[in-house]
Amino acid sequence: MPLVTVRQAVRILQEGGLVGMPTETVYGLAGLATNPDAARQIYELKGRPSGHPLIVHLDHYQKVAAPDPRADLLVRAFWPGPLTLVLWRRWENGHPVIPDEVTGGQDTVAVRLPSHPLARALIRAVGPIAAPSANRFGAVSPTTAAHVREAFPGLPVVDGGPCEVGVESTIVDLSSEHPSILRPGGVTAEELERWLGPLGKPSDVPVPGTLPSHYAPKTRVVLSTDPEGVAAELSGRGERPAILRARPVADYARILYAELRRMDQSGYSVIVVEPASDQGLGAAINDRLRRAAASTNAAQ
């Protein structure tokens, strides 16, 4: 399937189909959030367990979720942008606006407004869109249209260029008394605490990307603050290591998944990765790297 325009993507979505959608974080596998059949297609295509909720991309959270004054604060501060809010679902006429197929059977719904202009154009045209990352479940997330087409050759994709942020959105749980971060991402804990005050311990609300093993290339990943030393030791054992060095966190996040993909396809036996500084956006980078290392080491 060739790349498609926004107009063509709108028609596909309205007819119940799926498209690859650019956002500022990663590319999404998009379907209408109010269409249970579209959600089922997403789970089947990704190979994703049906109990893992999908994030709903939309222009106003109260279209699908109950009002929350804390959400109003965060929306004014960070939307559009890489922040997902977990809120109680809105009901109309005895039925939830967003079906169980999208929420994984939970009474909460995860929502965000992306900043990418093409994603926002799609939302304006069709309404709320359910869109997890456009990759096979557990694999490295896509940050270009080419990555999506590698994973799903038959999927129509809107090409919005390389993703600006490069790692998934921060997920904040507002369904309990004490807000907490369920997944670190493009909005940092320090930024959130300026608006919410001290954050609580993460709740057990199911959200995307929080399994111990996730975001993984096929090649084994090893984390080390001394990547050259570890790579030399591995070479001495007959392995062929690649090295991914840390850099300023915004640059590191932007290139992280593309570099993991490139090294995964280059015949290396192991990828030695240097963690980021564990502050700000670095916390999100290190979260993804720990999960990638857990996945590939568990598979050995």
pLDDT digits (tens, 9 = 90+) for 236-275: 999 999 999 999 999 999 999 999 999 999 999 999 999 9
pLDDT above 60 (res 298): no
For the entire predicted model, the pTM comes to 0.94
Interval 122-141: pLDDT, tens: 999 999 999 999 999 888 99
Distance CA 134, CA 201 (A): 29
> Which tokens in the block code for residue 118?
């093409």
6-196 carries CATH number 3.90.870.10: yes
Angle between helices 189-196 and 69-78 (to 10 degrees): 130
Evaluate whether 289 touches 273 at the Cβ level (below 8 Å): yes
> In CATH, what number does 220-298 get?
3.40.50.11030
> Which tokens in the block code for residue 165?
């942020």
Domain limits of the chain?
6-196, 220-298
- CA distances to 13, 36, 54, 58 from 96, rounded to whole Å, are 21, 12, 15, 16
